[in-house]
Structure 1
Amino acid sequence: MKLRRIFHVNKNAVALTLLRVVLGLTFLFHGWQKMQMGLDNVGGYFVSLGLPSWLAYVVGNLELFGGLLLIVGMLTRYISLAFVVVMIGAVFSAKFGNGFLGAEGKPGFEIDVVLMTIGAFFAITGSTGYSVDAVFKRQSQAVDGHKA
């Protein structure tokens, strides 16, 4: 008997779970970094970009707590969509003028596009793979009489 038959593993579910967790960790660490810098300081940077300072609190908390939610796969579509909006804002408010790969030691927006694309994927597909969302979906289907 093959080991795969004993431990039935869906490779796609594992890969999508890893992708979602890495996206969540990326935003979690960015949110944590903002908290460590102090949201008032981040708000000052936002003001220098022409954005309201209160937006730093929204973005910092969204990145921190939204990252945690993505890691466990909860509210995946909504959090991912919010991250897409944040990345669009980052590109156009802070990085677009630097070019795709950056210029003169300033960061480009290539990684923002990657994060935006992964976020768009999960906003469209939801939390595929192993996640809290999938557990609730299976329970809902079982209650409705659908095959889980």
Structure 2
Amino acid sequence: MIDRKLAPYAVLLLRVTTGALFLYHGLVKLFVFTPAGTAGYFESIGLPGALGYLTMLAEIGGGLALILGIAARYVSAALVPVLLGAAFVAHFGNGFGWSNPGGGWEYPAMWALVQATLALLGDGAHALYPLRRR
């Protein structure tokens, strides 16, 4: 049974936590690896460099949107393919295990499921721009 009184706050915690992690990862790509370095990494694994820029934008913009609660249901759904791409393109060859060199595929796959869950749950409490069900 779901506690209807507390569930929106559980969603809030999950939304803000994942938003902060996305924001962090996007900012690391921007300020530490640099946009050119991120694009170069994507090219080194056989992907278009432009996808590195789009990933950075998705992580920073998506992270901020989740933290603030702006269309969080749609943002979470849009981040699922980004995470599945990370899991199965960038990390699958590293095996199962986050401590493997380069990180394993299970960690981004788990985050994809978390984002899918948020998309199903909704915006949660204190969302700045929640999407209302009609």
Structure 2: 5+ residue stretches without partners: none
State how far apart, in whole Å, the 1-side matches of 2:62 and 2:87 are: 19
State the structure with more CA Rg.
1
The answer to whether residue 121 in structure 2 is matched with residue 125 in structure 1 is yes
Q: Secondary structure at the match of 2:42?
A: helix
Match of 1:97 in 2: 93
Q: Secondary structure at the match of 2:22?
A: helix
Match of 2:69 in 1: 73
Answer 1 or 2: higher relative contact order, Cα 8 Å, separation at least 6.
Answer: 2
How far off is 1:111 after superposition?
Answer: 1.8
Q: Which amino acid aligns with 2:61?
A: F
1:44–1:29 distance in 2 versus 1, CA, 3 Å = same
* CA RMSD after TM alignment: 2.1
Match of 1:33 in 2: 28
Match of 2:83 in 1: 87
Structure 1: 5+ residue stretches without partners: 1-9, 142-148
Q: Which amino acid aligns with 1:39?
A: P
Percent identity over the alignment is 37
Match of residue 47, structure 2, among 51, 54, 71: 51
Could you tell me the TM-score, scaled by structure 2's length? Answer: 0.86
Q: Which amino acid aligns with 2:91?
A: K
State how far apart, in whole Å, the 1-side matches of 2:81 and 2:26 are: 15
Task: Assess if the C-alpha contact under 8 Å between 2:39 and 2:52 holds in 1.
Answer: yes
The structure where helix makes up a greater share of residues is 1
State how far apart, in whole Å, the 2-side matches of 1:73 and 1:91 are: 25
**Runs (4+) of structure 1 moved beyond 3 Å?**
none
State how far apart, in whole Å, the 1-side matches of 2:100 and 2:14 are: 31
| 1:76-114 CA distance string (max 9 Å, x none) | 122112211111111111111112215753311222122
The answer to whether residue 12 in structure 2 is matched with residue 17 in structure 1 is yes
